[in-house]
Amino acid sequence: MSITVRNLTKTYGEQKAVDSISFDVKSGEILGFLGPNGAGKTTTMKIITCYMPQNSGTVEVDGLSTVDNSLDVRKKIGYLPENNPLYHEMNVLEYLEYAAQLHGMKGGQILHRIKEMVHVCGLESVRHKDIGELSKGYRQRVGLAQAMIHEPDVLILDEPTSGLDPNQIVEIRNLIKQLGRAKTVILSTHILSEVQATCDRVLIINEGKIVADGTPEKLRADFQGAESLTLELRTGLPDPMQQISPKLRSLPGVGSVELLGQQNGSSRFELHVEKGVDVRESAFRMAVTEGWIILEMHRKATTLEEVFHKLTTS
């Protein structure tokens, strides 16, 4: 179930919230949709889900126009908005039944899907509780369950882990990865580690325009700067700067070496390395040759957070 966006534009008065963007999402792909607040993420997702019309451009879900075939498109999409609107006075089972009925489901089909969603979303222990009594984590699960109750082929999730604790984030992340095996998913979040762990591809939008599109690995490679290697050694030598640093500087690709500190007979160095050069193997071989004991070796490359910062700040 693919999504095709072409030259999509949405304005509010004089402000362009979305400025002629185009992208595709393939069937079975989890797309991380990133951007700072006000970048146009939520507006784009609301247009895809037929909650609002665009000013120009086209959006197609499985070949169906969101303008000309709005009702058919909505049947194919499950949507979890950022604020996750729920009826707190209803219990979990009542709410899921209500959501299923809104999608035109009937009788035994409803009961089967509720049972399945309660199991998939881990709601067994709270299924008879009022939604207003649930923790934020369980309310997010209820929101995911309602988004999936009608077996949509496309899931649009706007900040699905907002306000959750670390354990809950891991649980929801694993659930999304599981769902992504069979569905097309667009996931918006500010938690970049979540994107790296969950998404097949990343799209970054800033001021209404797409500024990057690719896998997390490709984006890090494209924006890779100089790397560094932290190396902690136990050598028994009294003057590491004079006796060790020159040898480390001789490694291919190493531009400079900094002594970070000494403690309990060990010395900690940071090697500044040229872009794209991995000196770990040559550093290891030198340590073996010199009789040094490696206590730590840690390579620091460009992170997705750094890529995001470069692309979304002026």
What's the Cα-to-Cα distance from 241 to each of 63, 246, 285, rounded to whole Å?
Answer: 65, 8, 20
Q: Do 73 and 207 fall within a single domain?
A: yes
Cα 24 to the center of its chain, rounded Å: 17
**271 phi and psi angles, rounded to 5 deg:** -100, 125
pLDDT at 276: 76
Residue 132: DSSP 8-state: G
The model's pTM: 0.76
Q: Residue holding tokens 């891991």?
A: 170
The phi and psi torsions of 100 (rounded to 5 degrees) equal -65, -40
The answer to whether residue 313 is domain-embedded is no
- Clarify whether residues 173 and 51 are in a common domain: yes
Neighbour-count burial of 47, counting CB atoms closer than 10 A to its CB (0-12 exposed, 13-18 middle, 19+ buried): buried
What is the model's pLDDT at position 69? 95
Mean local confidence (pLDDT), 295-313: 83
The tokens 């001021």 sit on which residue?
207
Interval 251-263: pLDDT, tens: 999 989 999 998 8
Residue with tokens 């872009």: 275
Q: Which residue has the higher pLDDT, 53 or 160?
A: 53
- The band of 314, judged by pLDDT with boundaries at 50, 70 and 90, is low
Q: Are 84 and 173 found together in one domain?
A: yes
Average pLDDT over every residue of 146-173: 85
Coil, strand or helix at 226: coil
128 and 237 fall within a common domain: no
What are the b/e assignments for 8-44, b being 16+ CB within 10 Å? bbbeeeeebbbbebebebeeebbbbbbbbeebbbbbb
Percent of the chain at pLDDT > 70 equals: 98
Please tell me what DSSP assigns to residue 173: H
Domains identified in the chain, total number? 2
Say whether both 86 and 194 belong to one domain: yes
Expressed as residue numbers, the domain containing 112 is 3-222
CATH number of the domain encompassing residue 193: 3.40.50.300
Exposed (0-12), middle (13-18) or buried (19+): which is 281, by Cβ within 10 Å? Answer: exposed
CATH number (domain holding residue 273): 3.30.70.1340
Question: How far is 292 from 244, CA to CA, in rounded Å?
Answer: 10
pLDDT of residue 304: 81
Beta strands of the chain (E only): which ranges?
3-12, 15-25, 30-34, 56-61, 64-65, 77-80, 154-158, 184-188, 201-206, 209-214, 227-234, 254-263, 266-273, 293-300
Task: Give the integer Cα–Cα distance in Å for 215 and 202.
Answer: 6
Percent of the chain clearing pLDDT 90 (strictly above)? 61
Q: How many CA atoms lie within 13 A of 261 on its CB side?
A: 2
Assigned domain for 309 exists: no
Q: Is residue 169 domain-shared with residue 66, that is, in the same domain?
A: yes
> How many residues can be counted in the chain?
314
170-193 tens-digit pLDDT: 888 888 888 777 889 999 987 787
Domain boundary among 222, 247, 268: 222
Model confidence pLDDT, tens digit, residues 98-144? 999 999 998 889 999 999 999 888 899 999 999 999 988 889 889 98
Is residue 164 over pLDDT 80? no
Pair (35, 135) in one structural domain = yes
